[in-house]
Amino acid sequence: MENMGNTHQTPPPINFVLPQQPKRTGWKIFFGIVLGLSILANAVLVFALIIVGSIAMVGTGSKTFYNEKTIQQGCGGNKIAVIKIEGIIGNELAEEVKDHIETAQKDKSVKALIFRIISPGGAVSASDRIYYYINKYRSETGNPTVAFMDTLAASGGYYASAACDKIIAEPTVITGSIGVIMGHFVLQDLLTQKLGITPVIVKSGPKKDWPTTFEPVTEEQLAYLNDKLIMPTYERFVSIVAKARKNSLTIEQVRTLADGSVYNAQEALDNKLIDEIGYFPDAVKLAKSLANITNAKVVEYEKPFSFESLLGAKTVLQQLATKNGIYELTTPQMMYLWTPCGF
């Protein structure tokens, strides 16, 4: 007989249901809206700046304008403008110096210019153009100019200094290196032996490609280049220095100094290549004295931010990859340049 009273039944499991947390979507939506508005506002701002910059460039004939930065306060309506000639001198730097000079010339309160030179020199033509621009400013305005040699002002850097009324150099400056240099690469072995490339040159005369990168330079070629290029360019440099230092040196004395040697500040002063040794405040004092003023604000010019320059900037490799870049790399160039580590 079954015992119905002892039957054991397992109770059903109990499921505990936790209350659902409310979804916090409100803050996400809020921050999303704020982020979206921020991105939109920045995009509108950038677009507006581009439009304003484009209108300004169009309205001025794409002429570059510079901001005036005060580097030394002064009273009255007199200014002394400082123009930097910094780095290796090339076409771009020469044009920038020209723009700075023209900016200063339009400002009638500018009574003198100081050219702060930090350069080993550079291309012959670019150095000569800077020399011309400085002389042009002097003749058209009658305002004095001072070359202040900062750290290094050699070869083309000294060439540019020679256009100024006075030259003052820091005590530790390196200057001189009066002369011209030209160099190029000979790629014959690389092309023929390493790469198996044989260049074919068709020319109207034997001197058309002298010197060429595809064969070693001969003694005849060296004599030809020296006669046609090196010596005339060297003689121009000597005559420029002799003209600038006519009250101190004869052309024969300049020629003796113009053997490519560099000089420290004291040597340059002893050899009458500069007028004074001093620091930047001394250059300002000298400029005031030459301009017959006792007080002046000292300013320099800087290029404002440009989207055109930002968007149009190229790396060195990109520039060399162009046709012009390859041509400049392989073509010999005459340089007023101090090259202590080789060409």
Marked catalytic residue, from 119, 155, 161, 177: 155
Interatomic CA distance for residues 242 and 178, integer angstroms: 12
Query: How far apart are alpha carbons 326 and 317 in whole angstroms?
Result: 10
Distance of alpha carbon 317 from alpha carbon 325, whole angstroms: 9
Helix, strand, coil share of the chain (percent; to 5):
45, 20, 35
User: Rounded to the nearest 10 degrees, what angle do helices 231-244 and 124-141 cross at?
Assistant: 30
Active-site residue flag, 208: yes
Catalytic residue among 69, 203, 207, 208: 208
Query: Would residue 38 show up in a list of annotated catalytic residues for this protein?
Result: no
The string over 72-111, giving b where at least 16 C-beta atoms fall within 10 Å of a residue's C-beta and e elsewhere, is eebeeebbbbbbbbbeebeeebbebbbbbbebbbeeeebb
What is the distance of C-alpha 170 from the center of its chain?
21
- Give the span between the Cα atoms of 332 and 123, in whole angstroms: 11
Give the catalytic positions in this structure: 155, 208
